[in-house]
Amino acid sequence: MRTQVAIIGAGPAGLLLGQLLHHAGIHNVILEHRSPDYVLGRIRAGVLEEGTVALLRQLGIADRLDAEGLVHAGVELSLNGQRHRLPFKNLIGRTVTVYGQTEVTRDLMQARTALGLQSLYNSEVVRLQGHDGRSPVVHYTKEGRAHELSCDFVAGCDGYHGVSRRSVPATALKTYEQSYPFGWLGVLSHVPPVSDELIYASSERGFALCSMRSKTLSRYYVQCPLEDTVEAWPDDRFWNELKLRVGPDVAAHLVSGPSVEKSIAPLRSYVADPLRFGRLFLAGDAAHIVPPTGAKGLNLAASDVAYLAEALEEFYREGSETALERYTERALRRIWAAVRFSWWMTRQLHKFPDDTGFTQKIRDSELTYLFQSPAAQSVFAEQYVGMPL
């Protein structure tokens, strides 16, 4: 079997790239190790920048997003129970939209199926061959049988642990990594959100986040030690701790209920450089990982594949590799900006084991300055909402 672009990974990055390439007239095949149900079962964030929303609208995949997405014109930050709203719309004239990553993935899956485009699920890519030259071959197994997919280019959208990143020689790849000494315990519950907008809370007990997936489905988080287990956090303990961290004003309006999903996620920052090795390109989590504090992961994946799709379109239209050669530089400029912002938010809002009275006072002072300075708020809003693609 042959295609122009083989896309490894059917998460939102791979599916979005597939749609962008199809609209440019570029044939592509997606290979995914897991089943569609497994992919849709991943619980992830869902704060979309305007650029990501615009891409989905451009592709005609935004009907449900426009009908069900929650447009947020601001966000709240809380310091020891004192809440401060940062009005993005007033500050910079832009907004974000809350729409779960699962729903984005579902919409992209349905759009691809409706177009009759080829997605090979339950297909394990075991090896890439020839991607350092001009004739890549993807070797994969499906239902116990070995297959080959020849292509012009390979797009690695299969995450940090995928075969794509592992196929780049260690000597050709420089990596940057920062692990954080805590995790996020997340709870999903069929209860109304405590606020119309997200609340990021910093307290002496640690960080908490009040977010949502819809008007009836809430997602809440508390910072916890990495060694904690889900079993150590029964629902009652979680709700009590969340109320202590968000302060009495928020706690008085918080509706608790049984959790329908509960998990602990470690926080880390990771960037690979370069993002191109011959005819193999890395995008999404294969290229970078950011803490969820800045709501950047899905949006970075969208910008990666938008840049890659533009470069591939130029190649097939004009025979030029100029944009392909610039893909790493262009993508990394945006990636590092998002990594810095996510790192800053994580440092500002969480308690660290090595905190001293001095470092805590400095962080409190910086947040207080943010609350009081319209200029600082505009800078924060611009980074949170995201720069145009």
Catalytic residue among 72, 131, 288, 350: 72
CA 325 – CA 320 distance, rounded (Å) = 10
Angle CA(352)–CA(354)–CA(360) in degrees, nearest 5? Answer: 65
Our answer to whether residue 72 is catalytic in this structure is yes
Give the pLDDT confidence score for residue 329 in this predicted structure. 98
Amino acid at 327: Y
Give the pLDDT confidence score for residue 42 in this predicted structure. 78
Give the pLDDT confidence of 278-311 residue by residue, as tens digits.
Answer: 999 999 999 999 999 999 999 999 999 999 999 9
Our answer to whether residue 200 is catalytic in this structure is yes
CA 132 – CA 87 distance, rounded (Å) = 48
HSE (CB half, 13 Å, CA atoms) of 57? 12
Catalytic residue among 99, 200, 307, 327: 200
Which residues, 6+ apart, have CB-to-CB distance to 263 below 8 Å? Answer: 43, 185, 186, 230
Give the pLDDT confidence of 346-381 residue by residue, as tens digits.
Answer: 999 999 999 999 999 999 999 999 999 999 999 999
Amino acid at 90: N
Structure token pair of residue 137? 């071959």
Give the pLDDT confidence score for residue 332 in this predicted structure. 98
Instruction: Compute φ and ψ for 275, nearest 5 degrees.
Output: -100, 5
Structure token pair of residue 119? 């997605």
Give the pLDDT confidence of 68-110 residue by residue, as tens digits.
Answer: 999 999 999 999 999 999 999 999 999 999 999 999 999 999 9
Q: Is residue 328 over pLDDT 90? A: yes
Share of the chain above pLDDT 70, in %: 100
Give the pLDDT confidence of 16-51 residue by residue, as tens digits.
Answer: 999 999 999 999 999 999 999 999 987 777 899 999
Give the pLDDT confidence score for residue 46 in this predicted structure. 87
| 160: β partners | none
Catalytic residue among 220, 296, 307, 327: 296
Give the pLDDT confidence score for residue 388 in this predicted structure. 86
pLDDT band at 387; cut points 50, 70, 90: confident
Our answer to whether residue 292 is catalytic in this structure is yes
Residue 340 CB neighbours (<10 A): 14
Catalytic residue among 131, 180, 292, 307: 292
In whole numbers, what is the pLDDT of the chain averaged over residues? 96
Our answer to whether residue 296 is catalytic in this structure is yes
pLDDT band at 192; cut points 50, 70, 90: very high
CATH no., domain 5-70+100-177+268-345: 3.50.50.60
Q: What is the pTM of this model?
A: 0.95
| 317: β partners | none
Please give the radius of gyration of the chain, using alpha carbons only, rounded to the nearest integer.
21
Our answer to whether residue 327 is catalytic in this structure is no
